[in-house]
Structure 1
Amino acid sequence: MKRITRLSLIATIALAGTSQAALALEATDFADRLVETSKLMGVAFTYGSASAEGDTVTISDFTISIAGEDDVEVPGDVVFTGVVETAEGGFTAERATIEDVDYTDEDEGITLNFVDIAAEGIALPAEVSVDTMLETGFNLYDRISAGPLTVSDAEGNELFAIALMEVTIDEAAADGGVTSGFQVTGISADLSAIEEPEAQEAFATLGLEQFNASMSGEGTWWPETGEGTVSDVSFVVDDLGSISMDFAVEGYTEALYSELMKLNLKMAEMAEADIEMDDEQMLAMSEAMMEPLANVKLVSGALRYDDNSLFMKVLDLVGAEQGVDGETFKAGLQFMVPMALAEVENEAFKTMVTSAVNTFIADPQNFTISVEPEEPIAFSEFEGMEAEVEADPFVLVDLLNVQITANQ
């Protein structure tokens, strides 16, 4: 009995040792796969150690390297929870987190606090290769979020804050479209902290003490057709106004996506090799990344401003400098528009602009500049047109079929 008990105990210890070794190996495999996969984003990761406990993998001494930039050391550990190895040899993780950032610049007397930094729905492929770039890029994560972020002075007064920053990627729809989006909410700034007298005078005239804003956007790409749309990219300033943009393109193919990913891999390899890049090399790399996009075609686009009191506040500010109130300046502004366009020879364009601008001035609601070319135009077609456009700016107006409207 004693011999059996002793053998059982030895076997248990041996199995425990084997289990821990396997967990350590899996943690290292997971960390190595993360390093390789992240190169698709153009960054190189290094780490000191990786350990596993249950389905939690902890990576220590995590450093991010980007070509041409100083390395960034992630504070504390990077912790992945809900880690599972897939049947194909890849990995998934429910969530990844890092420690909150709490930094104080003693010289400036400024404290930065950044909390709840996390990624969710992480998927690492069994193999990182050119053939799997598209699938890997779409499935790398479901959501990345962070915040609140706050910046405070030495007395603890909040100077700037962001409530939430978030990026999401949805699963492919039935038509093959992949949608991603972002939002930055709860942007706020204490304008009283800006000490310049002229700025404070302008804020007083505009009736502003606190700046509150948000940003958001969404885009969908159909890899099989090369079509893409970006919609509702907007910057909203509470109680003042908003700017939004949307556009559609075609020719953004899977092959083009792969070429861009290859450039990202090259950037990551340079960062990994600690190759320093001067300004000329950085410019060359930027041009190399833009070159594949030259044949992407613009289908349509629009830039829109929606007013929510900002226009009249600006007229009050400008009018005060000339000794009149905003309403008086507004009335004079309507007469100034035709005068400003007097030298424009394109009568149709002049009429369109005059009508839209005066409509907006009379009742400031919204103002839109859009392009609707008869046929999609490749961005490469704009190269070498500088002299032609300088001689006749309306070449672009006609080519893009520029439309200007108000209050629609």
Structure 2
Amino acid sequence: MSYAGTMRALAAGGALMMMAGPAFSLDGADLVAKLNAAMGMPGAPLAAQTIDVRGSTVTLRGATYKPVEADPAITLGDITLEGVEEDNGGYFIETVAFPDVTATEDKTTVTISDISMSGVTVPATATGDSLDSVLLYEEASTGPMKVTVDGKTVFSVTSSSSATDVAEDQSAVGFAIEVDGIEADLSTVEDAKSREALQSLGMTKLSGTMSLSGSWQAEEGVVDLEEYVFDFANVGKLSMALSFSGYTMDFVRAAQQASQAMEANAGKEAQDAASLAMLGLMQRLTFNSAEISFQDAGITSRALDYAGKEQGVSGENMAQMLKAMTPMMLAQYNVPKLQNMVTEAVNTYLDNPGNLTISAEPENPVPFPMIMGAAMGAPNTLPDVLGVTVEANRRQ
């Protein structure tokens, strides 16, 4: 091929590459816009000074986050999104890496490091009625987090992680959260009386973990919070579970609109109208079941000793006083069945602190309006409506 022919071929190839380039390059601005739309917040909470796109990597330089329009934006720095792919109008992001966060206000400083997410799905449209219109991620984690006041650490976390698992048919999503190495220093509480109580209870320093797991069936609107646990050494483990229905995508959209209306309109009339809308939404929910349980790890005996000391008696005598007071306190509510259950459970627990469990399992799901009606009109019927039981030292 002649020199001139070679140059013409190169020029033609270059022109083709230039024309093809925009078709295959990522639109960073569109990605950010769809991220904001999927967050379901007013305005554009996520912003960046510049958006740098290089291949499948998108860098949001000088990024800020503003969840509430009236509040100042939080400076995040440069956020790096790697392995970004366009997916039917939406996006899939392999990993998102955030810069370490340091925020200071007055004497308080918060630091968080090693923040990342993976397997992020950004929907093409956030107005659909299935999970493919929801912003989802497979895993997220942080490293150490610390809160200091006047240079002294008052709260810290070693690490946290969360994961989601979306069903193949996009009908449901499971979720789990773990927070490890929670440390809280309560010795700095300023009120002398409160500080004395915490010292007597052995709670000037807390050490523990938190975990949560559950699922959401989006089409049926069923939320099962299977386990929500706070476990603190030398204190105890508080476990909660809850199941309710009616939390559909339609409910989520309506709740977001009501919340945005409350934020956008500060006037009392607008606030009242938005509050009524939220109350109306709550009436679309149905209660399935709930349970709360406490497993003692030493706090009960210390609490009895402290309360007894305040009354001038021993912890054992304080326990006997509580056992005698329980049926008398409950008698005024005219719920004899519940009164007997609670009295028996309290007696068993105070004699040998183990665990105390309160469950609510109605024979059939109960609409929230029925619960509110019973609470206002005949509160003594609520235990039967909800199928309430109280037990102590139940086998775990």
Structure 1 length as normaliser, TM-score? Answer: 0.82
Query: What CA deviation, in whole Å up to 9, does each residue of 1:341-376 have, x standing for no partner?
Result: 455654433322211110111011111122222322
Pair 1:400 & 2:396 matched? no
AA at the equivalent of 1:35: N
Of 247, 257, 260, the match for 2:252? 260
Pair 1:374 & 2:363 matched? yes
Structure 1 counterpart of 2:125: 128
Structure 1 counterpart of 2:302: 313
Larger % of strand: which? 2
- 2:50, 2:129 → 1: CA distance? 27
Pair 1:94 & 2:94 matched? yes
Once the 2 structures are TM-superposed, how far is the Cα of residue 131 of structure 1 from its aligned partner?
Answer: 3.3
Once the 2 structures are TM-superposed, how far is the Cα of residue 128 of structure 1 from its aligned partner?
Answer: 0.7
AA at the equivalent of 1:98: F
CA contact (8 A) 2:100 2:115 kept: yes
Q: Cα gap change, 1:292/1:183 in structure 2, threshold over 3 Å: closer, same or farther?
A: same
Pair 1:178 & 2:167 matched? no
AA at the equivalent of 2:179: V
- 2:100, 2:72 → 1: CA distance? 19
CA contact (8 A) 1:178 1:221 kept: yes
Structure 1 counterpart of 2:147: 151
Give the SS at the match of 1:140: coil
1:3-82 mapped onto 2 (5 Å cutoff): 26-39=27-40, 44-45=44-45, 46-66=47-67, 69-82=70-83
Q: Flag structure 2 segments of 5+ consecutive residues without an equivalent.
A: none
- 2:360, 2:306 → 1: CA distance? 32
Structure 2 counterpart of 1:117: 115
- 1:209, 1:266 → 2: CA distance? 41
Once the 2 structures are TM-superposed, how far is the Cα of residue 303 of structure 1 from its aligned partner?
Answer: 1.6
Pair 1:359 & 2:360 matched? no
CA contact (8 A) 2:143 2:159 kept: yes
Q: Cα gap change, 1:266/1:295 in structure 2, threshold over 3 Å: closer, same or farther?
A: closer
Once the 2 structures are TM-superposed, how far is the Cα of residue 22 of structure 1 from its aligned partner?
Answer: 5.9
Task: Calculate the aligned-residue CA RMSD, in Å.
Answer: 3.3
CA contact (8 A) 1:232 1:246 kept: yes
Higher relative contact order (CA 8 A, sep 6+): 1
- 1:59, 1:16 → 2: CA distance? 26
Q: Cα gap change, 1:194/1:282 in structure 2, threshold over 3 Å: closer, same or farther?
A: same
AA at the equivalent of 2:38: T
AA at the equivalent of 2:206: F
Once the 2 structures are TM-superposed, how far is the Cα of residue 11 of structure 1 from its aligned partner?
Answer: 6.7
Once the 2 structures are TM-superposed, how far is the Cα of residue 330 of structure 1 from its aligned partner?
Answer: 2.3
- 1:364, 1:111 → 2: CA distance? 39
AA at the equivalent of 2:299: L
Q: Cα gap change, 1:173/1:84 in structure 2, threshold over 3 Å: closer, same or farther?
A: closer
Once the 2 structures are TM-superposed, how far is the Cα of residue 406 of structure 1 from its aligned partner?
Answer: 0.9
Query: What CA deviation, in whole Å up to 9, does each residue of 1:379-401 have, x standing for no partner?
Result: 01234445523xxx312122222
Q: Cα gap change, 1:12/1:326 in structure 2, threshold over 3 Å: closer, same or farther?
A: farther
Query: What CA deviation, in whole Å up to 9, does each residue of 1:121-164 have, x standing for no partner?
Result: 11123x31533653222x62223333421122444x32211223
Pair 1:166 & 2:161 matched? yes
- 1:238, 1:247 → 2: CA distance? 25
Once the 2 structures are TM-superposed, how far is the Cα of residue 169 of structure 1 from its aligned partner?
Answer: 1.8
Once the 2 structures are TM-superposed, how far is the Cα of residue 170 of structure 1 from its aligned partner?
Answer: 0.8
Give the SS at the match of 1:77: strand
AA at the equivalent of 1:234: V
CA contact (8 A) 2:255 2:281 kept: no
Q: Cα gap change, 1:55/1:174 in structure 2, threshold over 3 Å: closer, same or farther?
A: closer
Percent identity for Structure 1 against Structure 2: 30
Which has the higher mean CA deviation after the structures are superposed, 5-14 or 213-222? 5-14
Q: Flag structure 1 segments of 5+ consecutive residues without an equivalent.
A: none
Query: What CA deviation, in whole Å up to 9, does each residue of 1:215-256 have, x standing for no partner?
Result: 22222233444433211112222220122221222344xxx3
- 2:119, 2:267 → 1: CA distance? 37
Structure 2 length as normaliser, TM-score? Answer: 0.85
CA contact (8 A) 2:159 2:181 kept: yes
Give the SS at the match of 1:229: strand
